[in-house]
Structure 1
Amino acid sequence: MDIYIYMYIYYESLSLPGFLPSEITSTPIITMFIQLLPLIIIFFLTLPLLWFILNKGSKSQKSSTKSDVLPKRYPIIGSIFAIVSNQSNRVQWITQILQNCPSATYTLHLVFGYHQILTANPDNVQHILKTHFNNYPKGYFFINVFFDFLGNGIFNVDGESWKFERQVSSHEFNTKSLRKFVETVVDTELHDRLIPTLSDAASGKTVIDLQDVLQRFAFDNVCKIAFGYDPACLLPSLPQSQFADAFEDATHLSSQRFRTPLSITWRMKRFFNVGSEKKLKIAISQVRDFAKKIVREKKQELANNSSLESVDLLSRFLASGHSDEDFATDIVISFILAGRDTTSAALTWFFWLIHKHPEVEKEILKEIKEKSDMPVYEEVKDMVYIHASLCEAMRLYPPVPTDSKLAVEDDVLPDGTVVKKGTLLTYAPYAMGRMEKIWGSDWAEFNPERWLQRDEAGKRGFVGRDPYTYPVFQAGPRICLGKEMAFLQMKRLVAGILRRFKVESAVEEGFQPVFVAYLTAKMKGGFPIKVEERGQLD
């Protein structure tokens, strides 16, 4: 998260009501400069000291003790040096801090007395996401940072707008829609595109990036089910997609704003249209042009035939009276983000873990063989061991490693942590999956069996955790609507791939992939694999 949240709050206090980031270019430059002058002065006064301390600290690496894990704080500037020096490994750093706090909650001291509360405490998470839900919306900080990219889409709004969008979206996730999704959309993409792509890689003994292939698969799926549109991104030739590249840039550069040492930095770059903000503006323009094309085609389709048999998510929004093109475009972008990046991230790490744990793969293959005679939907629903393996993979590598809310009023968390109005609270699923108090001393092990238990007849059954202990899909009123759809898609894909192919990592022995967090998690540099035809399962 942006370590200078206090600067953003200061900036907002100077703004007129309703002042949005997209309107900043209408502000006279002299007025803007006067507003930002205090922040500019602070930046240039602290920069030399910051540079000196960080460089001095990097020259002498000492072995850390438990007491050294918690960041040091200083008068006025708080823990700014520790925060800046850990920007590249922020998620892992937060995890280390919370593992060393008795209540798994830590108040991070920022500059001038501002705070950010970090937590991996299930009671606190339930308090934030459910019990006191109305006191912890996304808040203006998150919304304004991502407004250029996500606009008023469901993942970037609060209050009545969020309620309306969620209500309309919920119709897309009933049992009938889920069955159709698995039996037609996912199965078609699997057999017509994914399997031929992997077959070509196997016959040609070529190395492919599984992360890229999975993103293409998920992108085609979400566009088909949500908008009735087929982008045909996943073909054996793996065609270059301008939209996919632009979407990746928009996602990465938007989330980069959080890690910028000063909010003013990206704001000034956006105002002058330079550097990363210029690149972001171009990427967003390309993404929005693509999304608008989908909206216009859908409007035309509805105009030509208002009684379509197949009603998708976009059709529902347009038919609800919200046919404004910009609003519909925001909806499209938000659902592409949700459908493309989360499942592909989860599956990328799943296949890495399966590669490292052949004993788990063996159990998965056994289950695939046992269920092979069942109809597709029932087969996928009944795959208990694969479901457990996916949950275990997401425990260690959640698609959304951290999420934040903004306190509307003063409050006290269940563990006694005092929350002041305007404080940013960050709960960390990545850290929660690594807490010994929650998962036991073997928390670091990839063990799907922790999600299973056998009945008297010896049949395995899935035993879930409550969503506040395992908030991978959020929890409370904002729990992910697409949770079941995501599991169905992932389980069908896993069964479809492993039934036909053996997936082997193409990296050197001992290589450990790097977990990086943007809006969603990624495997840095992708996941290069080799594919081998498996033949008949024994």
Structure 2
Amino acid sequence: MFIQILASTIIFFLTLPLLFFILNRSSKSQKSSSNSNVLPKRYPVIGSVFDVIANLSNRVQWITQILQDCPSATYTLHLVFGYRQIFTANPDNVRHVLKTHFNSYPKGYYFINVFFDFLGNGIFNVDGESWKFERQVSSHEFNTKSLRKFVETVVDTELHDRLIPMLSDVASGKTVLDLQDVLQRFAFDNICKIAFGHDPACLLPSLPQTEFADAFEDATHLSSERFRTPLFVIWRMKRFFNVGSEKKLKIAISRVRDFAKKIVREKKKELAEKSSLESVDLLSRFLNSGHLDEDFATDIVISFILAGRDTTSAALTWFFWLVYKHPEVEKEILKEIKEKSDMPVYEEVKDMVYIHASLCEAMRLYPPVPTDTKLAVEDDVLPDGTVVKKGTLVTYAPYAMGRMEKIWGSDWAEFKPERWLQRDEAGKWSFVGRDPYTYPVFQAGPRICLGKEMAFLQMKRLVAGVLRRFKVVPAVEEGFEPVFLAYLTAKMEGGFPVKVEERGDLD
């Protein structure tokens, strides 16, 4: 296998001079054409690799422009040596891939190979019977009232014991903090307590660096970088020789998995001594249900941390930016918070439809997972007529779908929570959801996100708790526009510096 990879790489680089000659020969005719077509230029052997490389830093925005320019919102990108990747923002195609022909579009060997070192056989990195088994086990645990109550307790404790006091100190000291970093710490503490029953205490006032959190960040970032490499053989060779980013990734993964296995062993020891665990975290639930294999427990819990760590913090980062930019939305949110403040916690969150709509609208424009890729395991034809060959990567793009005029209308660029709402005869708002294949922010079909309700609970509790007490003001220059970075999950480039002001009484 290594010899084949090495040979392919050598052949590629030996042909580069010829490829550049072809590029230069065709450049004159391309320059003379002044049309505004954004479709990539395609060459023999290498396909559109030059455009891919040129747009590595803004790949999701580049793909979005291409899909907006295509009548069916679907485009086949030609890569080196005849490989192809299909991108789509067409809801019919998304339904076809995620539901109607679900078995024809698994994660596939490419995705699994990229993330196997990190995720192993966790639920987000397996297909077929392994996935069905893990999904069944996980679904049972996620649908218990005791877990929901546990999540409420964890979130409220982190909110009132750590986040609110921190923001109060920042407000009184009139200092600037990176809200993106704070929200990531908040989410990491929460998901570790929910998944492991372990508190990494990332959101202490000193904002400490913790080895597990730092290693998890490195493992996530470096694993996703493999996807951004134009030639997969490059990261494979770096891994073989244990150099560069692959050496760093190996160290980070080792730290994550060693720590996770230590927690698993401690839980198993506790179970052996007590015969039953008092904890209700996910790891305890899996062990209590008889799933005692150390690697299985480690893999599945790491997957849950990955799913819950950056997704909610990414959504909330962009939410606070958008709310600041739209004071009329903030006014409606504050009105709703005041009206629901006397309700029990769960009922309060459940009934906050305007905040729910605002979060959905923020994730429409800035989805935490901007793209997701499947692998075609057989020849197929998508509903819009796009031909799919076996072995082709098929990527649906929630980021692009949130920017399609055909789906959202001519005002798609506007932040309007009201597009998710309707009023009844008494003038009360009610939430109107969208088809999950039009809005696949939480995936759709058999693999739809199990933690969706947990995520909304966490986000709505945080929004209500923070905005009830504080006004969040970006500490940026006039005219500043944040940059959306798309890795495995989304981030705001350079963080989100803010000042916090005490709001006082909502009256």
TM-score by length of 1: 0.90
Residue number in structure 2 paired with 1:420: 389
Contact in 2 for aligned 1:78/1:109 (Cα 8 Å): yes
- Using a 3 Å threshold, how does the CA distance of structure 1 residues 235 and 51 change in structure 2: closer, same or farther? farther
Residue number in structure 2 paired with 1:4: none
Contact in 2 for aligned 1:127/1:413 (Cα 8 Å): yes
Residue number in structure 2 paired with 1:18: none
Matched, 1:446 2:446: no
Residue number in structure 1 paired with 2:81: 112
Segments of structure 2 that go 5 or more residues without pairing to the other structure are none
Matched, 1:140 2:114: no
> Offset at 1:55?
10
More displaced 10-residue stretch of structure 1: 333-342 or 292-301? 292-301
> Offset at 1:78?
1.6
Contact in 2 for aligned 1:408/1:421 (Cα 8 Å): yes
Contact in 1 for aligned 2:98/2:444 (Cα 8 Å): yes
More displaced 10-residue stretch of structure 1: 178-187 or 412-421? 178-187
Q: 1:464-517 CA distances to partner (integer Å, 9 max, x unpaired)?
A: 101000000000000000001100110000000000111110121211111111
Residue number in structure 2 paired with 1:150: 119
Matched, 1:314 2:283: yes
From 253, 256, 276, the counterpart of 2:245: 276
Q: 1:346-369 CA distances to partner (integer Å, 9 max, x unpaired)?
A: 001101111111111111001000
Matched, 1:43 2:26: no
Q: 1:173-224 CA distances to partner (integer Å, 9 max, x unpaired)?
A: 2261454145311111110111111111112222111111111111111122
Q: Distance in 1 between matches of 2:127 and 2:44?
A: 35
Q: Distance in 2 between matches of 1:62 and 1:509?
A: 37
Question: Aligned residue pairs: how many?
Answer: 506
- Using a 3 Å threshold, how does the CA distance of structure 1 residues 507 and 65 change in structure 2: closer, same or farther? farther
Residue number in structure 2 paired with 1:303: 272
Q: Distance in 2 between matches of 1:384 and 1:66?
A: 45
- Using a 3 Å threshold, how does the CA distance of structure 1 residues 305 and 178 change in structure 2: closer, same or farther? closer
Give the alignment of 1:233-382 within 5 angstroms: 233-382=202-351
Give the alignment of 1:4-43 within 5 angstroms: 14=1, 32=2, 34-43=3-12
Q: 1:269-323 CA distances to partner (integer Å, 9 max, x unpaired)?
A: 1111111111111111111122122212211221222223443321232244432
Give the alignment of 1:70-219 within 5 angstroms: 70-174=39-143, 176-177=145-146, 179-219=148-188
- Using a 3 Å threshold, how does the CA distance of structure 1 residues 507 and 57 change in structure 2: closer, same or farther? farther
Matched, 1:492 2:461: yes
> Offset at 1:240?
1.4
Structure 2 counterpart SS, 1:425: strand
Q: Distance in 2 between matches of 1:341 and 1:52?
A: 44
Q: Distance in 2 between matches of 1:323 and 1:442?
A: 52
Residue number in structure 1 paired with 2:364: 395
Contact in 2 for aligned 1:505/1:527 (Cα 8 Å): yes
Residue number in structure 1 paired with 2:480: 511
Contact in 2 for aligned 1:199/1:533 (Cα 8 Å): yes
> Offset at 1:43?
2.7
The code of the aligned residue for 2:399 comes to Y
The code of the aligned residue for 2:310 comes to D
Q: 1:41-90 CA distances to partner (integer Å, 9 max, x unpaired)?
A: 233124446678999999xx989976521112123322121111111111
Contact in 2 for aligned 1:168/1:316 (Cα 8 Å): no
Contact in 2 for aligned 1:54/1:85 (Cα 8 Å): no
> Offset at 1:389?
0.2
Segments of structure 1 that go 5 or more residues without pairing to the other structure are 1-13, 15-31
More displaced 10-residue stretch of structure 1: 168-177 or 455-464? 168-177
Q: Distance in 1 between matches of 2:23 and 2:245?
A: 24
Q: Distance in 1 between matches of 2:147 and 2:224?
A: 31
Contact in 1 for aligned 2:148/2:454 (Cα 8 Å): no
Structure 1 counterpart SS, 2:75: strand
> Offset at 1:36?
2.5
More displaced 10-residue stretch of structure 1: 141-150 or 47-56? 47-56
Contact in 1 for aligned 2:370/2:489 (Cα 8 Å): yes
Contact in 2 for aligned 1:218/1:343 (Cα 8 Å): yes
More displaced 10-residue stretch of structure 1: 179-188 or 430-439? 179-188
- Using a 3 Å threshold, how does the CA distance of structure 1 residues 54 and 493 change in structure 2: closer, same or farther? farther
Structure 2 counterpart SS, 1:75: coil
Contact in 1 for aligned 2:147/2:280 (Cα 8 Å): no
Q: Distance in 2 between matches of 1:535 and 1:525?
A: 30
Contact in 2 for aligned 1:506/1:529 (Cα 8 Å): yes
Q: Distance in 2 between matches of 1:307 and 1:173?
A: 19
Residue number in structure 2 paired with 1:458: 427
Contact in 1 for aligned 2:49/2:230 (Cα 8 Å): no
More displaced 10-residue stretch of structure 1: 156-165 or 171-180? 171-180
- Using a 3 Å threshold, how does the CA distance of structure 1 residues 352 and 287 change in structure 2: closer, same or farther? same
Q: 1:240-283 CA distances to partner (integer Å, 9 max, x unpaired)?
A: 11221211111111111111122121111111111111111111
Structure 2 counterpart SS, 1:236: coil
Q: Distance in 1 between matches of 2:392 and 2:47?
A: 15
- Using a 3 Å threshold, how does the CA distance of structure 1 residues 48 and 245 change in structure 2: closer, same or farther? farther
Q: Distance in 2 between matches of 1:305 and 1:389?
A: 46
More displaced 10-residue stretch of structure 1: 48-57 or 218-227? 48-57
- Using a 3 Å threshold, how does the CA distance of structure 1 residues 384 and 280 change in structure 2: closer, same or farther? same
> Offset at 1:96?
0.3
Q: Distance in 2 between matches of 1:357 and 1:118?
A: 32
Contact in 2 for aligned 1:179/1:377 (Cα 8 Å): no
Residue number in structure 2 paired with 1:536: 505
The code of the aligned residue for 1:351 comes to F
RMSD of aligned residue pairs (Cα, Å): 2.2
Structure 1 counterpart SS, 2:434: coil
Q: Distance in 1 between matches of 2:55 and 2:358?
A: 31
The code of the aligned residue for 1:511 comes to F
Residue number in structure 2 paired with 1:229: 198
> Offset at 1:150?
0.8
More displaced 10-residue stretch of structure 1: 95-104 or 74-83? 74-83
Structure 2 counterpart SS, 1:405: strand
Contact in 2 for aligned 1:395/1:470 (Cα 8 Å): yes
Q: Distance in 2 between matches of 1:510 and 1:62?
A: 33
Structure 1 counterpart SS, 2:268: helix
Q: Distance in 2 between matches of 1:56 and 1:457?
A: 69
More displaced 10-residue stretch of structure 1: 229-238 or 151-160? 229-238
Residue number in structure 2 paired with 1:7: none
